[in-house]
A and B are shown apart, each in its own frame.
Chain A
Amino acid sequence: MPLKQDLLWYKSAIIYQVHVRTFYDSDGDGIGDFQGLDQKLDYLEELGIDTIWLMPFFPSPLRDDGYDIADYNSVHSSYGTLEDFRKFLGSAHQRGIRVIIEMVLNHTSDQHPWFQQSRSSQENPRRDWYVWSDTDTRYHGTRIIFLDTEMSNWAWDPVSKSYYWHRFFSHQPDLNYDNPAVREEMWNVMKFWLEMGVDGFRLDAVPYLVEREGTNCENLPETHAVLKELRRKLDEQFPRKMLLAEANQWPADLRPYFADGDEFHMAFHFPLMPRMFMGVMLGDRKPITEILQQTPEIPPSCQWCLFLRNHDELTLEMLTDIERDYMNDTYAQDKTMRLNVGIRRRLAPLLDNDRRRIELMNGILMSLPGTPSIYYGDEIGMGDNINLGDRNGVRTPMQWSGGWNGGFSAADPERLYAPLLQDPVYGYPAVNVFSQRRTQHSLLNWMGRIIAVRKTTAVFGSGSIEFLYPANHRILAYVRQLGNETILVVNNLSNAAQAVELDLRRYQGNVPIEMFGKNIFPRVGDRPYLLTLGPYHFYWFRLRRI
């Protein structure tokens, strides 16, 4: 299946996030690789996703799971070769699957040759590629992001006897985007991969590119200028490619990253995600509708990227104190589940492995305005291992079968990059692709069905949204519309059956057709439209004038 030539392909995409290391080990060394990923493309095609987002696979000391890059133009030897990547990319494209890759613009590893040269002497031509200072007092109004590990955004370099700036770990020095040579070189890096055929980038940590005294060094106009310049070059030389922003910010602060449709194509909606969990736990739509009311309009060519879980902790940064406390108390009673300002757990354990809630959350994810991103393994309800440090508990090997190493690798279990889950509830004998493929009503097959239903219409990706506010606050209801097509979505956020009366007078005369079973419901009249929903149940109705 060839790639669609739609300029706005990302608006109707369904993204699957995966780290090559975690997916499938083709050579039996205990680490997933590109040949393995290539072999599993049939699975992803069958699931129905059409875009793969790859986490960093570049050469790296791996002190931050690859986000500490030591060479931008190559592949980490554990994952294969550039040729392996190229072959995987071709295979994906043949199946109509696009590939976007991670690009860490803000910083490199301290092992990157650029930094080694920069620190070597004051006169080195690459000295100004990083942010150096004789003191550690500059930009003192800037927050520290990794509070659990870092004391300062400055680190002392004994080699060059000065301080360097880092917003993340001290082994990740920030690049100096005031230097035109850095901007040019990073574009060259992106060009390298674009010429190979990648379809876009997830740009990591974009709010922090430029520093200015007297500011918090986040979201600065100079940073936006850098990003716009990259976008301009992208559009000129590589149309139909896409930039996705990782900026954990409030919606109003995120809006500038779309600019006039000439900066990012997409940005993650970070504040929405924890509020979806909150809404379902509270059985109340308030957190969700509140944050979406605060979400500004974005240019027509732009799109929000929505997700339930990803490779990081469930971030609670964009919450009020009272909301954060509630989330911790309800979703991370065991304090070892907490990390930085978040909860390091996967979707299924967060939802207590409740199939109804997992379906509801995915239903909301797939029906709100935006492009959904699914984290690998969540489609089969994989669990996590909170006994592994940092965020490694949500990065365990994909569980393909109940056999040797869960079908992930032929290596001795001791050689695996991380231990497989083996507990009775989430372990690979209980949760795996093989067994779920055999069961018609498995979560995996259900995920395939909801993806297929979503793909029957462009409304979910590109349509407008109008919230209905029925008096029953446990019901989250909205109408999605695009052209002549109208879809009514009704979600019961509570653990009890609910009756709701919807004001659908605007759609009087329409016949609701339930989109999964294609059953016809009573015609909409001039009175409140009564629906009953089971616990955590949801409906998608196509409203048809028949």
Chain B
Amino acid sequence: MADESFLTDDFLRQLINVGEVDILVGVPTHNNAKTVGAIVETIQAGILKFFPRERAAIINADGGSRDGTPELVVSAAIDDAQRSSRLYTLRTLHSISTQYASSPARGTALRTILAAAELLRAKACVVISPESTQITTDWLTTLLRPIYKEEFDLVLPTYSRHRFDGILLTNLLYPMTRALYGLEIREPYALEFAFSGRLGSQFLAQNAWHDETARAGSETQFTLTAIAGGYRICQSFLGTKEHVERRSADLVPAMRQTVGALFSSLEPNFSLWNTRTGSQPIPTTGSEREFNLEPLRVNRKRLREMFSTGVAELESVFQAILYPSTLAELQRIARLEEVRFRYSAELWVKTVYEFAAAYHRSVISRDHVIQALAPLFRGRVFTFLVENRNGSAADVEGNIEGLCLEFERMKPYLLEIWNGRE
């Protein structure tokens, strides 16, 4: 069992009062007062509707909110919903909260939830983002039932997304994870996911909590732990994922959390992925996901400019990371006019694999490796937007599938350069 000394005495006291549970719902928060109350009420209603007999608790791990978020979690009550929908639970339903730090850290929040799950011997746990305003009561059963009833260990979501939403996911995380680990997990690094108590304990016990990258990309690590451990994984459809406008400055932190975690997983799991070829689908429940084709305004020109600027300004960095032929090709396309610009799938995969190998070899600071990938990714986004501008949902899906196959086809290249060429 991992060291639990990071839990406060007050939180421990609350956990003692909750006791053993069957279902644990973790809600990591930080200044989510606008949304968290309604989300917790929906969670409560979902528990009453689908798990009325089970012992359940909602655990809020808060990163120092100043807007009353923890108080809203604890005081959220389903009385009105209960009256209107005749929901009823046989048992006491607990909602408790703890402040794990004075500033938010997703990894620490997850660690707190995992520790609570282990102490409460939870059979099935689910983490719900406090920003998921599209949540319905069905999410509870969709995510938890495979764990609770069908003995899966990890349930990841699938969503209906806008075709241009989650491009980091569709152009890097999904295809690379799939190619390396051989499983077609569509949302490998989700903010909503469910897991078994035994998987939670396994992840909690690992010693990576003191490593900054692992803490930051804890969800990513979590999925990779499940894959590496041979745990049973499935995915469930949750409905539409709302498109969230991200600022340009958000990209690097997002890449640290996801790409950084993916890259850092490669080293300890080398023996796992170096022999796998091809990929296999995993069990999926619920409706078919599909892309939303609503028009979306994206400033493509700015993306390409940031790519070209990056290639020019970071040349010395790229010289340490990329092989000369790859860098030369990137410099070539950086000079192309916008209408002729194309960052091909093959070049993109080659770039990513060379970055992964450079990360492994620590040719420069690993964080700089991740940061340096950001402008190149913007160039890839530009091409993805252009190629799918007028595409149908099937076309978009086809393009992503093609990219996945490219990642799989070029996996030997990654192995070849993993420790540097002779």
Contact = CB atoms under 8 A, between A and B. Distances in A.
Contacts of A286: 89-92
Interface string B89-103: 111101000000000
A472 interface: yes
A1 interface: no
A473 B94 contact: yes
B53 interface: yes
A467 interface: no
Interface in A472-531: 472-474, 494, 496, 498-501
B92 A473 contact: yes
B108 to A, nearest CB: 25
Given A322-B52, A471-B14, A496 B90 contact: no
A283 B21 CA distance: 11
B17 A326 contact: no
B interface, size bucket: 10 to 19
A356 B48 CA distance: 30
Given A322-B52, A326-B53, A472 B19 contact: yes
A471 B17 contact: yes
Given A322-B52, A326-B53, A282 B90 contact: yes
Nearest to B89: A286
B19 A474 contact: yes
A494 B55 CA distance: 12
B88 A473 contact: no
A496 B20 contact: yes
B314 interface: no
A496 B55 CA distance: 14
Contacts of A278: 90
A333 interface: no
Contacts of B89: 286
Nearest to B19: A474
B296 interface: no
B92 A284 contact: yes
Contacts of A283: 19, 55
Contacts of B17: 470-473, 500
B340 to A, nearest CB: 66
A419 interface: no
B124 to A, nearest CB: 18
The interface residues of chain B, by DSSP majority, are classed as loop
Contacts of A326: 53, 90
Contact of A282 (B88, B91, B94): B91
Contact of A496 (B19, B53, B92): B19
A471 B90 CA distance: 17
A478 to B, nearest CB: 16
A513 B88 CA distance: 39
A133 B367 CA distance: 92
Contacts of A390: none
B304 to A, nearest CB: 58
A287 interface: yes
B16 interface: yes
A45 interface: no
A338 interface: no
Contacts of B92: 284-286, 473
Contacts of B13: 471, 501
Interface centre among B53, B89, B94 (most CB of A within 10 A): B53
B19 to A, nearest CB: 6
B88 A322 contact: yes
A29 interface: no
A320 interface: yes
A63 B13 CA distance: 58
Nearest to B20: A496
A317 interface: no
Contacts of A470: 17
A323 interface: yes
B10 to A, nearest CB: 11
Interface in B1-35: 13-14, 16-17, 19-20
A499 B20 CA distance: 13
Interface centre among B14, B20, B88, B92 (most CB of A within 10 A): B92
Interface in A269-297: 278, 282-287
Contacts of B16: 472, 499
Interface of B: 13-14, 16-17, 19-20, 52-53, 55, 88-92, 94
Q: Report the 3 A-B pairs with minimum CB-CB distance, sorted nearest first.
A: A473-B92, A471-B17, A472-B17
Given A320-B88, A471-B17, 20 more contacts: A282-B90, A283-B19, A284-B55, A284-B90, A284-B91, A284-B92, A286-B90, A323-B90, A470-B17, A471-B13, A472-B16, A472-B19, A473-B19, A473-B92, A473-B94, A494-B19, A496-B19, A498-B19, A499-B16, A501-B13
16 contacts: A278-B90, A282-B91, A283-B19, A284-B55, A285-B92, A286-B91, A287-B90, A320-B88, A322-B52, A322-B88, A471-B13, A471-B17, A472-B19, A473-B92, A496-B19, A496-B20
